[in-house]
Amino acid sequence: MHKSLLIDPEKCTSCLQCEMACSFEHEGVFNPAKSRIKVFEFEHGRTAIPYTCTQCDEAWCMHACPVEAITINLATGAKEVDEDVCVGCKVCTIACPFGTINYNQDTGKVIKCDLCGGDPECAKACPTGAITYVDANWTGYDRMRESALRAHPSP
């Protein structure tokens, strides 16, 4: 059974612990600019939303890659970039409708969330539980609909 990241923006305090944990895990430095998860602030900081690759079922990034550098990790379901194969053309960054694939200037390759091999550091580092790693079925349409209705109730 695959799992995925579930993000609850109502719990996010914009502490950036998720970004720090991610950058340290993947790059060996505490630098939010090198993180595969980003915290976006809205309404002048009143609302913060962690945002990363959603590991789409129909992964446009994977289909767009001309050298097939993005493959599916069968154990986690994550779409992962093989740095040895990636040529840094950035076609996947254009294909991703969510903008969650980034170019790493230092390596000349693209980077995206790989779920840390099934033990996401961002979820472990989140002090408020805004990021959790749950059964993939819990993050579907029904949850999004419920959240939207809470935010914008019908008249």
For the chain, how many structural domains are there in total? Answer: 2
- Mean pLDDT for 31-58 is 89
- Mean pLDDT for 110-133 is 97
The helix/strand/coil state of 123 is helix
Question: For the chain, what percent of residues have pLDDT higher than 70?
Answer: 89
37: pLDDT strictly greater than 90 = yes
Same domain, 41 and 63: no
Q: Which amino acid is at 136?
A: A
Same domain, 3 and 27: yes
pLDDT score for 150: 74
pLDDT score for 155: 64
127: pLDDT strictly greater than 80 = yes
pLDDT score for 118: 95
Same domain, 108 and 118: no
Same domain, 62 and 99: yes
Stronger pLDDT, 41 or 124, i.e. the higher one: 124
Stronger pLDDT, 123 or 41, i.e. the higher one: 123
Residues in CB range of 132: below 8 A, 6 or more apart: 5, 6, 8, 123, 126
- Mean pLDDT for 16-37 is 96
Tens-digit pLDDT profile for residues 73-117? 999 999 999 999 999 999 999 999 999 999 999 999 999 999 999
**Of 59, 40, 58, the residue nearest 50 (C-alpha):** 40
Name the band, by pLDDT with cuts 50, 70 and 90, for residue 43. Answer: confident
Tens-digit pLDDT profile for residues 4-17? 999 998 899 999 99
SS (H, E, C) 71-87: EECCCCCCEEECCCCCC
Range of the domain at 119: 1-52+114-155
Using CA atoms, how far residue 49 sits from 5, 31, 104, 112, in Å, is 13, 18, 22, 17
CATH number of the domain bearing residue 132: 3.30.70.20
99 vs 9: CA distance, rounded Å? 18
Same domain, 10 and 82: no
